[in-house]
A and B are shown apart, each in its own frame.
Chain A
Amino acid sequence: MEDLSFHHQARARAGGTRQMAIIGVVASGNLEVLAERVLPETECRLEIKTAAEGFGEVWDAVVADFVERYSPGGLKFSINDGGARPDTVSLRLAQAVRLMAENEQ
């Protein structure tokens, strides 16, 4: 297990009003992402627990591209990773942002 933490400034606040969303599953080659709207509007934080060690550089690149592309300001992501591929990580993060952009029912 390895713990990783990333902190970024986002261009803008993430859309929507939803306070919390969860997507994915903790399984081999997959991951679970919990998104919470708990940070100041232009801040973004990711806390990662991963089963695969030594992929810090790849996570760094994936997270930087994600923040650049989706501007998830105000969101904190808690990730339980079962050794997912980078493309799966990108997809789950994007899915989490989309869920947060939905309005609360």
Chain B
Amino acid sequence: MKNWQQGRQARDARIEAGAKLAKGKIVAASDATRLMEAVIGPGDRVCLEGDNQKQADLLCRALLGVDLAKVNGLHMVQSGIVLPEHLDLFDRGVAKRLDYAYSGPQAARIARMLFGGKIELGAVHTYLELFARYFVDLTPQVALIAAVSADHDGNLYTGPNTEDTPTVVEATAFKNGVVIAQVNEIVDKVPRVDIPADRVQFVVEADKPFFVEPLFTRDPGAITEGQILTAMLAIKAIYAPYGVRRLNHGIGFSTAAIELLLPTYGERLGLKGKVASHFALNPHPALIPAIESGWVEQIHCFGSEVGMDEYIRARSDVFFTGPDGSLRSNRAFCQTAGLYACDMFIGSTLQIDLQGNSSTVTTSRIAGFGGAPNMGADARGRRHPSTPWLQAGREADPDGSALLRRGRKLVVQIGETFGEKNVPLFVEKLDALALAEKLKLDLAPVMIYGDDVTHIVTEEGVANLLLCRDENEREQAIRGVAGYTHVGRSRDRKMVQHLRERGVIRRPEDLGIDPLDADRSMLAARSIKDLVRWSGGLYAPPSQFRNW
């Protein structure tokens, strides 16, 4: 007779081994490594919670300290490779194989380790894609998660940074896995239950709060005139004519400039109430002036941002909050919202090639994808119409049948033609291709495929790729906004002029924008202190952003 309960029995054995170290579900921090050795076996698939704003850092260090005779060769599945310890696990041999989504803060080291063969790479995913695989072929046997507090039964309060936790727990707890949570404190009653106790087997009280970094704070003081100009172009050439109300912004300075221009420049253009009212977005401090000016109706968040808690609490008409008043974020739902319910993604990148493919990978840095490919992709499963979606579809296929024609999501790449240290944004060949060849990957790590990109905005102008009718037009439209980069200087001037006459390329003067008007005085806030003032003192910026 076949045993159909092997997974459950294995889980029960793990729990029984761990229970010897626990009082109820609570395990002392000093026993955390022994807990890992009791619960985890060689070659197990382990999900270590590494989000943007919430790190299971104590559990990671505990895992790093295991006896290699007991625990080794693990298969790590986790969305973010953020902390140095995440990679130390591979250096030490605790872990061997990796499937992940984002590695921004460890981009240089992960590249070295991949080249050095220290990590056996499954794949680099988008968030939604990795989450999906948690439920199909990458289901964890053990999940190591982080929360703000737990009660004695193991009910968890994640705080505003719920992020990946519900997804990780769902995949683990309901498929014979064991969930271990680190919490900042154990309390009698949690402010709200984000994760019910029966999905959590062990709770470790950390000696200090989990690590969190202000990833989404852009100091308005650092925004340049060039970024203001590209922001003006985007607002006038894309937000206005398409009437984009539902959208996601990237985290760069150009989109921060857009956020800070809505209450000034956007107001002058009469766009209030017509654009940028519904967001899938982290709570960007730069959006405070637009919120306070009544532009924004609703924001659903992937995670929170340092210093924004009290502001969010006081603006529950705009944000999703729990009965306790604090933000409830959820990365999987917000990514889904960005994919299916937003009409536009606008963000920056590091390299764009002649087909419009874009990548943040360079030969020495592998930052992963995070969510950009979900936001920055046309959702082929989308069925509901909206004005911008239909208009973009019409521009791409003017002769198609209106009732059968798919709409298109607006996928906008915005940036200055030269980045840091005068490195060109436009290239003939992506570094991602060289990397794929060197690592013998089946697929180059392209963040956004050219056939999904609809517009490119630089200080030189806006290229509308929806209006290009063949490969050659597309290439010249891209060259035509590539400025003084080599790609830009190698343009076919006659053809670019022709594309400009057709409105495929629009220069600042074609849009009635004088580049000399792109001045910092146009920003609704020119400093972090201005943002605090706009928030009525509710925004509490972290110390590295305070200079008063």
Partner-B contacts on A (CB < 8 A): 52, 55, 57-58, 61-62, 83, 85-88, 90-91, 94-95, 98
Pair A98/B516 contact, Cβ less than 8 Å? yes
B243 proximity list for chain A (CB < 8 A): none
Rounded to whole angstroms, the CA-CA distance of A90 and B226 in the bound complex is 10
Shortest beta-carbon distance from A73 to chain B in Å: 19
Find chain B residues with CB under 8 A from A57 CB: 489
A-B contact pairs, 20 of them (CB 8 A): A52-B422, A85-B226, A85-B416, A85-B417, A85-B418, A85-B422, A86-B417, A86-B418, A87-B226, A87-B416, A87-B418, A87-B484, A88-B224, A88-B225, A91-B225, A91-B515, A91-B516, A91-B518, A94-B516, A95-B516
How many residue pairs link A and B with beta carbons under 8 A? The number is 41
Q: In the assembled complex, which residues on chain A have CB atoms less than 8 Å from the CB atom of B422?
A: 52, 55, 83, 85
CA distance A17 to B143 in the complex (A): 73
Q: Which residues of A contact B416 (CB under 8 A)?
A: 85, 87
Could you tell me how many residues of chain B have their Cβ less than 8 Å away from some Cβ of chain A?
17
Please provide the chain B residues from 476 to 528 with a CB less than 8 Å away from any CB of chain A in the complex: 483-484, 489, 515-516, 518
Given contacts A61-B484, A61-B489, A83-B422, contact A88 B226 (CB under 8 A): yes
Which residues of the other chain, B, contact A52 by a CB distance below 8 angstroms?
422
B459 at the interface (CB under 8 A from A): yes
**Complex Cα gap A98–B514 (Å):** 12
CB distance from A57 to the nearest CB of B (A): 8
**How far, in whole Å, are A60 and B489 apart by their CA atoms in the complex?**
11
A-B complex: 10 closest residue pairs judged by Cβ atoms: A86-B484, A85-B418, A87-B459, A58-B484, A87-B226, A61-B484, A98-B516, A61-B489, A94-B516, A62-B484
Q: Which residues of A contact B224 (CB under 8 A)?
A: 88
Contacts of B489 in A (CB 8 A): 57-58, 61
- CB <8 Å contact, B483 and A87: yes
B232 CB, nearest partner CB in chain A, Å: 13
Chain A residue nearest in CB terms to B421: A83
CB pair B226–A91 under 8 Å, yes or no, is yes
Task: Tell me the smallest distance from the CB of A59 to a CB of chain B, in Å.
Answer: 9
Produce 1/0 per residue, B188-231, CB < 8 A to A. Answer: 00000000000000000000000000000000000011100100
Task: Tell me, in angstroms, the Cα distance from A85 to B459 when the chains sit together.
Answer: 11
A58 partner residues in chain B, CB cutoff 8 A: 484, 489
Chain A's closest residue to B489 (CB) is A61
A94 and B484 contact, CB distance less than 8 A: no
Residues of A within 8 A of B417 (CB): 85-87
Q: A87-B418, A91-B226 are in contact. List 15 more A-B contacts (CB 8 A).
A: A57-B489, A58-B489, A61-B484, A62-B484, A83-B422, A85-B416, A86-B417, A86-B418, A86-B484, A87-B417, A87-B459, A87-B484, A88-B225, A91-B229, A91-B516
- The closest CB in chain A to the CB of B418 belongs to A85
Residue of A nearest to B519 (CB): A95
Name B386-433 residues within 8 Å CB distance of A.
416-418, 421-422
Nearest B residue to A28 via CB reads B421
Among residues of B, the one whose C-beta sits closest to the C-beta of A52 is B422
